[in-house]
Amino acid sequence: MSYANDMPAATRTDSELASVLRMSVMRLARRLRAHRLDSGLSLTQLAALATLERHGAMSPGDLAEHEKVQPPSITRVLALLESRGLTTRAQHPTDGRQQIVTLTKQGKALLSEDRRKRTAWLARQLTLLSAEERALLRAAAPVLERLGQL
**Segment 7-64, tens digit of pLDDT:** 566 667 889 889 999 999 999 999 998 999 888 999 899 999 999 999 999 999 999 9
What architecture is domain 15-149? Orthogonal Bundle (1.10)
Tens-place pLDDT, residues 94-138: 877 889 999 999 999 999 999 999 999 999 999 999 999 999 999
Global pTM reads: 0.78
The Cα angle at residue 65 between residues 49 and 112, in degrees rounded to 5: 15
Nearest alpha-carbon partner for 41 in 104, 107, 89, 105:
107
What residues form DSSP beta bridges with 58?
A: 101
Distance separating alpha carbons of residues 149 and 30, to the nearest angstrom: 20
Sequence-ordered strand ranges (E) for the chain: 87-91, 99-103
* Residues pairing with 102 in the sheet: 88
- Where are the chain's structural domains? 15-149
